Amino acid sequence: MKVGGGLYLLWLAFQLWTADTSDAGNEALGGKSLFQLARQEFLLAAGNPKAILIFTAFLPQFVDPTGSIGFQFLILGVLFLMLEWVAIAGYAFFGKALRHWFSRPTMRRLFNRVCAGLLGSAGIGLILARRE
């Protein structure tokens, strides 16, 4: 499992290193409405294993079994969603601030290469890690 995960990280690093940084990829969001983008984000987040794990393993620890379990889950779920919205808004703000930087193919290529190096390093580290 460890070697498979490391090889997968190396594959992702390779894909990122060789990714096309021309302006052809900017058409992916073209023509989508705000509702379509929100729906896409919702479906992506709903299928995220991290979110499923939080709702099934983490949040139940904070529920008092003597109280209204459904109401407590509702409150915890709403708080979780509010924090997710804050995080998504932060990503959007950060992306908007870096829009000019990423408008140049050379800067996109530099970003891809740095991220590919980090992924590759993580993959090699995972493969070489020994259990003590």
Domain assignment of residue 10, yes or no: yes
Q: What share of the chain has pLDDT > 70, as a percent?
A: 93
Cα angle value 89/87/92 (rounded, 5°): 30
SS3 of residue 65 by DSSP: coil
Assess if residue 109 is contained within a domain: yes
**Structure tokens given for 107:** 């800067």
Q: Does 26 reside within a domain?
A: no
User: Whole domain around residue 98: which residue ranges?
Assistant: 2-20+32-128
27 lies in a domain? no
Residue 28 is classified by DSSP as G
Give 61-79 pLDDT, tens digit per residue. Answer: 888 999 999 999 899 888 9
The whole-number pLDDT of residue 20 equals: 87
The total number of structural domains in the chain stands at: 1
Domain annotation covers residue 95: yes
132: confidence class by pLDDT, cuts 50, 70, 90: low
Q: Provide the sign of the torsion angle of the four alpha carbons 30, 36, 42, 46, taken in this order.
A: negative
